[in-house]
Structure formats: C-alpha cells, structure tokens
C-alpha cells in the first residue's frame, strides 16, 4: 500500500522526484506511523467494549512515543508539515490515523479518544500540525459521510 501511495504521490506532486532529504523525511514519517499501526491498537479502538487497564496503558504509552517522535521533527525543523514546507503523502497517511483514532466522534471508545487527545495536547508542534491538517483538509473532511470507524 505504501508503494502505491509513493507512486501516486510522485504522479500528483505529493512525493518528490529528486529531493532526497524530503523523500527521506516522508519515508521516515510513513515508517514511524507504521510502528504505531503495527501495535494493533486499532482492534481495541474499534472494539465494542472498553479496553482493559493494561490495554489502555499500552495504547497511551505507544501513542505518546509516536507523537513524541513527530513532535521532535516538527519542532526541530520548524516546518508546517512532516517533511517540510509542503503537504506530502506522509501528512495524509499519518493524519488519517490520528483523525480516525482521536477525532471521530462516532467511534466506540471515548476513553481512548480522550486519552489520545490529552497526549496530543502536550505536544505543541504536533498539535499545531493536527489543527493545520484539519484546516487544509476541511473541504474533504466536511464532505465525508459521518460513520463510525
């Protein structure tokens, strides 16, 4: 799936043809996102029952680790987007996870959503990026049908 995203990104201008630094940052963001996705917390987020204390602790620890990584890059580079000054496939991929997990009011896990939002709130560069993405993608986000994940 990520190879397809890269190919589409090249075709549509969201993945560089020749900027190796930007390509590295995009690939890093996608792989960092994959580290969180691989933890399989989505099974708990989409479950009909509240997670156990152990599952919640693992989720918040893994989410915080992931947010810290993105915070570090955004703050150090002082950029609007994950790979620099422009929107790339990295932003779309990472935002899709955070949008679904933390900002979908129709999901079945309000406790996990609230805990995740509290983590994001502690990291100003990442939170600013989330808010920027909501604005940048507002036309798309407002046109989507409302549905649980």
Angle between helices 89-102 and 110-121 (to 10 degrees): 130
pLDDT at 149: 58
pLDDT at 141: 85
pLDDT tops 90 at residue 110 = no
- Report how far residue 29's alpha carbon sits from residue 109's, in angstroms, rounded to the nearest whole number: 26
pTM (predicted TM-score): 0.89
Which CB contacts under 8 angstroms, 24+ apart, belong to 63-68? Answer: 63/36, 63/115, 63/116, 63/119, 64/119, 65/36, 66/32, 66/33, 66/35, 66/36, 67/119, 67/120, 67/123, 67/126, 68/123
- The mean per-residue pLDDT over the stretch 138-142 comes to 88
- The mean per-residue pLDDT over the stretch 86-115 comes to 87
Residue written as token pair 């993405």: 133
Higher pLDDT: 86 or 49? It is 86
pLDDT tops 90 at residue 79 = yes
Highest mean pLDDT among 33-47, 49-63, 92-106: 49-63
- The mean per-residue pLDDT over the stretch 87-114 comes to 86
């Amino acid at each position: 799936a990520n190879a397809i995203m890269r190919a589409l990104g090249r075709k549509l201008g969201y993945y560089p043809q020749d900027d190796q630094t930007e390509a590295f940052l995009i690939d890093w963001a996608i792989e960092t996102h994959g580290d969180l996705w691989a933890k399989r917390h989505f099974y708990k987020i989409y479950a009909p029952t509240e997670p156990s204390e152990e599952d919640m602790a693992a989720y918040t620890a893994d989410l915080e680790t992931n947010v810290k990584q993105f915070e570090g890059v955004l703050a150090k580079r002082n950029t609007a987007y994950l790979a620099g000054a422009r929107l790339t496939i990295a932003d779309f991929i990472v935002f899709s996870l955070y949008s679904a997990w933390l900002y979908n009011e129709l999901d079945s896990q309000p406790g996990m959503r609230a805990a995740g939002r509290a983590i994001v709130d502690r990291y100003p560069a990442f939170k600013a990026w989330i808010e920027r993405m909501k604005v940048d993608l507002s036309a798309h986000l407002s046109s989507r049908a409302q549905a649980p994940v």
